Amino acid sequence: MRKPARRKCKVCNEWFLPQYDNIRWCCPAHGAIYALELRAKEKIKAEAKRIKAQKEAEKEGRQRRKKRLAELRPAGYYKAQAQQAFNAYIRARDADLPCISCGETNPPDLHGGQWDCGHFKTVGANPELRFEERNAHKQCKSCNAGAGKYTAKEATVAQQYEAGLVARYGQEYVDWLNAPHEMTNYRRDDFIRIRDEYRAKLKELKRQEAA
Ligand SMILES: [Zn+2]
Ligand SMILES: [Zn+2]
């Protein structure tokens, strides 16, 4: 057997000549101390492993509960989320445009600085156009509430909306909106899909703007 080279004791750091290759301590007393140290290290390792496993189990539990909760939620919950995501996208898409109805570009003084997403054909009368991008535009809160800047009559606000659409996109665009459309039958999964789609579209829009 090859004669072991001298090495430093793990405990006192003094040089010594080990009897065997696996000896890391200069004397039995330091060997005992070193063994304690190794055991302590292993204990820490085992504890770290246990904590990690516990955290993972808790995370899995949270995900399971979240999934179960999602399954319990009614379709209306996702419909509202889809509408919110769609509206947010429309507002961002039209960020540089004025209110489609009254043409106002600077409503902060007028309406508290918040814009709405207004539907041309109302979602009540035309639910099939609820998530139709051509039917939704950035609108000031006042116009969306049916009380335009220049008039208090809702019919006239709608007419202003139509005039705004013609001016921006042309008569054909409005004719298409006024024509009949295929009825939709959205289910819970559709709302989730629409929500995710518009969240992604908004994200992409913001990414492009930042670039
Ligand atoms: Zn030693
Ligand atoms: Zn307006």
Helix (H) or strand (E) holding 184: none
Distance from Cα 15 to the centre of ligand 1, integer Å: 8
Q: What is the pLDDT of residue 110?
A: 58
Q: What is the pLDDT of residue 102?
A: 87
Q: Using one digit for the tens of pLDDT, what is the confidence trace for 34-91? A: 999 999 999 999 999 999 999 999 999 999 998 898 888 899 999 999 999 999 999 9
Distance from Cα 144 to the centre of ligand 1, integer Å: 83
pLDDT higher at 9 or 140: 9
Please identify which residue in the block is written with the tokens 């960020």.
Answer: 95
- Strands 15-16, 136-140: pairing is unpaired
Distance from Cα 113 to the centre of ligand 2, integer Å: 12
Nearest ligand to the CA of 144 is 2
Q: What is the pLDDT of residue 155?
A: 60
Distance from Cα 30 to the centre of ligand 1, integer Å: 5
Distance from Cα 28 to the centre of ligand 1, integer Å: 9
Distance from Cα 32 to the centre of ligand 1, integer Å: 10
Q: Round to whole Å and give the CA distance between 64 and 26.
A: 55
Q: Which of 87, 76, 172, 63 is nearest to 137 (CA)?
A: 87
Nearest ligand to the CA of 30 is 1
The residue extents of the domains of the chain are: 75-210
Nearest ligand to the CA of 151 is 2
